[in-house]
Amino acid sequence: MAAPLADRQELRIKNGGAVKGILVNGARPKVVGPLSYIGCSGRACRTRDVTLFLTRDAPLPEITWQRTYYGAGSAADRIIAARPDTAQPVHSGDQRILIRAVKLGSP
C-alpha cells in the first residue's frame, strides 16, 4: 500500500475468515478471530507492505483500501475562502477520504 501524502491508511476486510495470517512490513502480528481491519496513522504509515496468508479452499475476502488525507485540498479553496475568519474545525476538521476495492484472484 503506497499513499505518499496520506495521513491514515486502512484495509477493511469482509469475510476475513480465510485469512490465517498477515505480514506487515516484515512483522507478523497475531490474528485473533476473523480479520476485519488493518489500520495505521501517521507519516510512517504512508508506505506499507502487506501480505495476507489465505486458507487454500476458502472464499476470498472482500477488501477495501481507505486513505485519509487531512485538509480540504485545493479543490475546496473557494469553500474555505468563504468561511468567516472565526470558523473553527469541529472534531478532526476537513478530510478527504478515498476508498477503493482491492481485487484478489488466483496467480
Tell me whether residue 13 is in a domain: yes
Q: How far is CA 54 from the centre of its chain?
A: 20
Tell me whether residue 26 is in a domain: yes
What is this structure's pTM? Answer: 0.79
How many folded domains does the chain comprise? 1
Q: What integer is the mean pLDDT of 40-48?
A: 91
Tell me whether residue 42 is in a domain: yes
Tell me whether residue 85 is in a domain: no
Q: What is the mean pLDDT of the chain?
A: 90
Name the maximum alpha-carbon separation found in the chain. 59
Report the alpha-carbon distance of residue 37 to residue 45 in Å, rounded: 15
Tell me whether residue 33 is in a domain: yes
Tell me whether residue 84 is in a domain: no
Tell me whether residue 86 is in a domain: no
Q: What integer is the mean pLDDT of 47-59?
A: 92
Tell me whether residue 34 is in a domain: yes
Look at residue 73 and tell me whether its pLDDT is greater than 90: no
As a whole-number percent, the residues of the chain with pLDDT over 90 amount to 62
- Whole domain around residue 51: which residue ranges? 8-77+91-102
